Structures are given as structure tokens and as C-alpha cells.
Amino acid sequence: MKKVLLGMSGGVDSSVSAILLKEQGYDVIGITLELFGGTCCNTDAIVGAKQICNSIGIPHITYNLKEEFQCKVINNFIDEYSNQRTPNPCIECNKYMKFGAMYEKAKELGCDYIATGHYAKMEYSDEYGKYVLRKAKNLSKDQSYVLYNMPKQLLGKVLFPLGDFESKEDVRKIAKEHNLSVASKPDSEDICFIPDGNYKKFLEQNSSIVPKEGNIVNRKGEILGRHTGLYNYTIGQRKGLGISYKAPLFVIGFNKERNEVIVGEQQELYRKEMKVNEVNLLLMDKIERTLDVTVKIRYASKPAEAIINQTEAGNIQVIFKEPQRGITPGQSAVFYIGDVVVGGGKIQD
């Protein structure tokens, strides 16, 4: 019997994943990572996950990773905002916690696989002659975007039991059939360590970042208004600028040295090219030639057609077929061929 370590948050997706894996004949161990104390990893979540495991007859353990989470995820979040970049902490958490530390724990426990309740698929591809990461069948729930940064050696060693579900209601139906208390539990959409969604307050209370007023300028350097601190603004932001102008204005960039927020009209938000660093490729070791792909520049964006090539330094140059709105440094760009994840990286300034 193959043994699998399943990450459990106390939510419906990971709980149903436990049921499905057990029904498929796996020897399942549930694990809840103690990360911060937010919505997905607090005491209630641990108790809830343990109760679910008891009700379906599998063991449950906890794993304290608070120090690692602070170092790899929270400190990165603060550093990125300090440098006017917009991070995605879920991607860092997946890389270092779920597919890093949790995988190491799985090996310690003699497990053959790890599993999570993410909506994605891991399948062997005859076309590529290897295991590949694919989009979930339910594209509206697909989470392959936040999984591109997993270590390549995990291909074929991760199970995603929810990858072929057509709707979230089908998942909830299984939970109800097994009388799970989480069957109607709402989805968590906030950053786990900022449950109230107020990242500005979090930064002020947990870092050396303090409000420092400065000028809001256009590309010509003309002063149009005042800002309350660079970290309070993101690329594409329109609300809260407090500027009266002949046309709507949006944040299009920053000048950290001069402590300036740069604004422009809507057409100035569009770019046809970008560079990506901190690259992680899953489908190949290196992009040897120009590759036609689709690209997601943020979790909720529609895939856009582009060509990519890799420089000698390992970075990737992206040229879009059509200009894209609001390309944001610090966010991840993820590349696909069809529904297969090629890889991705961080959008550069």
C-alpha cells in the first residue's frame, strides 16, 4: 500500500482529499502545518483537521514551521513591499513550506507521496515523456499558477485528488455525504497571516516601514499631488490618489530614490514586453529556443499569448502578442503550453 502525507488546513478541499485518497487505497497521514496563527493554520484549524482525520479513520500530526514561515514568507512579503514590489505570499509558502519542509517530513515518515487539496493535476505525459503539472479540469478553480515554483524533483511525487472535479459543489457534496462539519465552510481568500486583509496595517505593525509622504508625479516629473507612503500604492491603482485631472489617472510606477509615485493615463499601463527572473522551469531544464506560450501575469488574469526566450543568465524575456495591462513587479508570471505548466518566475522592475 502506497503511503501519502496529506496537507490539511481544516477546510473542505483538504478534508475531501483525505476521503478520496483513503477510498483509492492509499495509507494516508494528515498533517497540519503550524505556520503563523492565521485563518488556515491556527488552533481551530488544527483541531478541525484532527477531528476530520478521526472521523474518517486516519492519523493526524502537526508540524511547527512558524520560524521557517517567518523567515521565508513573512520577511519576504515585507522586503518586497519595502522595495515597491507586490508579492504573492502563497507562492512562497507553497515552495518552502508545502513542497519544501512538508516533503522532507514525508520522506522522514517513509511516505511515497505528498498530497494537497489544490485544484491542479499531476500526470504522466507520453508527449513529454515525464510527469507534468497541468491545469485543473475546473478552470475557474485552477490553482496551477501558485504551484509553478515547486521543486522539479517533486514531479510525479505529488497527488492532487481534486484535479478532475468539475465544480466545487461536487466536492462539497462528498463532504456532506460523509457528514463532515466543513461541508459548508466558506473558502478562505485572505492572506493567512493578514486575516482582516489590511496589509498596510500589518506592514506598519510588523516592520520598520513607516508612512513617509512624497510627491505624486507624471512621467514628465510634474507634481500632481501627494502620497502617504510608497507601500500604500500598487501598479494599476486608481482609487485614493486624491488628484483632480482631465482624465483618470493610475499608478504606473515608483521612484524610490525620490520617494515618488508615478501616475499616468490608462494607455500608459500597457506594456508589450517584460523580463522575468528567479525562474523555475518544470517542463525542461532550459528554454533552448524561442517558445510560443500563454502567460498569466497574476492569479486572476486571463492567459495571454506570448513568445519567450531565456538569456544566458537564466532570466526570461517575454514578448506579448498584445500589450498587457498592469504588469506588476514582484508578481509571478507563469507560462503554459496548452494546459501544461512550463514554469514561471518573478516579474522584474
Catalytic (active-site) positions: 93, 192
Q: 107 is written with which cell numbers?
A: 520522506
Strand 340-347, strand 332-337: pairing: antiparallel
Amino acid occupying residue 92: E
> What does 4-21 look like in DSSP terms, one character per residue?
EEEE--SSHHHHHHHHHH
Q: How far apart are the first and last CA of the chain?
A: 49
Report d(CA 285, CA 308) in Å as an integer: 15
Q: 95 is written with which cell numbers?
A: 515552495
CB 94 within 8 Å of CB 143: no
- The SS3 assignment for 217 reads strand
> Cell 485528488 appears where?
161
